[in-house]
Amino acid sequence: MLIVDDSPSQVRLIQGLLEPEGYWPVGLNDPKRVEEAIAAERPSVILLDVVMPGRNGFQVCRELKSNAEFNSIPVILVTSKDTASDKYWGEQQGADGYVTKPFTREELLRAVRRFA
């Protein structure tokens, strides 16, 4: 499982929620290195923040879903962007799930269990 978020504390929070459930979450703080991390880690699910510098999560999701090598990996957007139009735009980029920050442990696990 790959967690992509520019906030190290957010990555640690998500890892802390997933590890006790038996998942092996790997954190990445640089959205420009997503493809490299996927090639190295081969995650079964990607948890992707939207608001990041340089390359936002919508862009990353769209590029992953248009790449035959990566498009079968489920992408769950984990973001503070919580309007209906944000969620719709995420779906249009190919996102498989959407979790709004702040989230509960149960909300995160429910989203992850759909794919992992």
Domains in the chain: boundaries: 2-113
With a CB cutoff of 8 Å and minimum separation 6, the contacts of 91 are: 98
Q: Which two tokens stand for residue 113?
A: 């269990």
- The pLDDT, as a whole number, for residue 102 is 96
Of the candidates 107, 63, 79, 106, the residue with the CA atom closest to the CA atom of residue 3? 79
Q: What is the pLDDT along the chain (116 residues), one digit of tens a residue?
A: 999 999 999 999 999 999 999 999 999 999 999 999 999 999 999 999 999 999 999 999 999 999 999 999 999 999 999 999 999 999 999 999 999 999 999 999 999 999 98
Q: Which CATH class is domain 2-113?
A: alpha beta
Contact 59, 91 (CB under 8 A): no
**pLDDT given at position 114:** 96
